[in-house]
Amino acid sequence: MTHIKNIGLFTSGGDAPGMNATIRAVVRAALFYDLEVTGIRRGFEGMINGDLFAMSRKTVSNIIQRGGTILKTARSEHFKTPEGRKLAFEQLQKFNVDALVAIGGDGTFAAAHIFGKEFNIPVIGLPGTIDNDLTGTDFTIGYDTAINTVMNAVDKIRDTAESHDRLFIVEVMGRDSGMIALRTGISSGAEAIVMPESKLSMDKLFDRLENGRKDKTSRIVIVSEGEGEEAGAFEVGRLVKEKFPNYDTRVSILGHIQRGGKPTCMDRVLASRVGVAAVEALMNGYRNEMVGVLNNEIAYTPLEHAIKKNTDTDATFLKIVEMLSL
């Protein structure tokens, strides 16, 4: 057992449903073990600026069902510099913080890993991102809520597509990872999925649209947001319109609704499990580790490995999309 007395807690990067449930779990688990928790508002930027405060059971009352994060989140260019990180450490010392729990994704973990090494402070990362793009956990906090949000939105879009015999190109989040597109494409009965990992060329997409059932009254194509040519729903929609001018083609960008909303039961339970495990990990001497759940068991992954996700997508899932869209 270590002699940690005060845990600094913050959220960073993009918000994700379930972050508040995670905050609640960390605070209440720490208090259960007679540890103090210091909240850090607005991530690394708030750490630099000294925006810290003592957290209590009351602080986290009635937040398990809320989306967003009560600790706020922000980008910090200053933290990328040695001078900024030194200021952040000095602020932690003022508040007697001797360990950190960081809730976020790969950018958060990369910065926290550097910070922990530089100042010899124990850091535990918790996977809070809707993209599900971290190694060391089957699912990230917020992913289940996000894909259910997308699925429900696409179901509603399908109603309009059916009514007007339309083809909808629907863009979902996932600039570097197609995990949202993959599962929502299957669950919504999409004709095709365009995402970074699938390497689905426009020619293959055209072929699938041209040779699919002719009696279909609606068609849905799910597209991950992206960069470069043939990336994003508007560009895919433009190319489809050029190729099939007879189709009534529309584009829908789901945008930030995917980040919001009440977390699902799955996300609340995941958040609670890893939140408690993070406190216990610090007490047992873990540092620079991410806590996740693999095969329904708590798992620990070094932060530098957690951010190196293998983005190969299960080919079986892509085959399912192709088979069931016929």
Cβ neighbours of 57 (radius 10 Å): 11
User: Using alpha carbons only, how large is the chain's radius of gyration in Å?
Assistant: 22
In this predicted structure, the answer to whether residue 198 has a pLDDT above a threshold of 80 is: no
Active site residues: 131
Nearest C-alpha neighbor of 251 from the set 170, 181, 184, 193 = 170
State the Cα–Cα distance between residues 242 and 238, nearest whole angstrom: 6
- For helices 265-283 and 143-164, the axis angle rounded to 10 degrees is 160
Output the pTM of the full model: 0.93
pLDDT tens for 288-307 read 999 999 999 999 999 999 98
Per-residue confidence (pLDDT) for residue 1, from 0 to 100? 55
- % of the chain beyond a pLDDT of 70: 92
Domains and CATH numbers, the chain: 6-142+263-306 (3.40.50.450), 146-259 (3.40.50.460)
pLDDT tens for 31-58 read 999 999 999 999 999 999 999 999 999 9
Higher pLDDT among residues 198 and 33, named by residue: 33
State the Cα–Cα distance between residues 167 and 146, nearest whole angstrom: 23
Per-residue confidence (pLDDT) for residue 199, from 0 to 100? 66
Query: Mean pLDDT: which of 90-94, 191-195, 228-232 is highest?
Result: 90-94
Per-residue confidence (pLDDT) for residue 231, from 0 to 100? 66
pLDDT category of residue 139 using cuts at 50, 70 and 90: very high
pLDDT category of residue 320 using cuts at 50, 70 and 90: confident
State the Cα–Cα distance between residues 91 and 85, nearest whole angstrom: 10
Q: Is 22 helix (H, G, I), strand (E, B) or coil?
A: helix
What is 133-165 written as a DSSP string?
--TT-SS-BTHHHHHHHHHHHHHHHHHHHHHHT
- Contact yes or no for 321/307 (Cβ under 8 A): no
In this predicted structure, the answer to whether residue 282 has a pLDDT above a threshold of 60 is: yes
- Contact yes or no for 177/311 (Cβ under 8 A): yes
DSSP strands (E only) in the chain: 6-11, 36-40, 52-54, 99-104, 123-127, 166-172, 192-194, 219-224, 248-253, 289-294, 297-302
Higher pLDDT among residues 144 and 314, named by residue: 144
CB contact set of 24 (below 8 Å; sequence gap of 6+): 60, 63, 64, 271, 272, 275
Q: Which amino acid is at 110?
A: A
pLDDT tens for 206-258 read 888 887 766 676 889 999 987 555 568 999 999 999 999 999 999 999 999 99
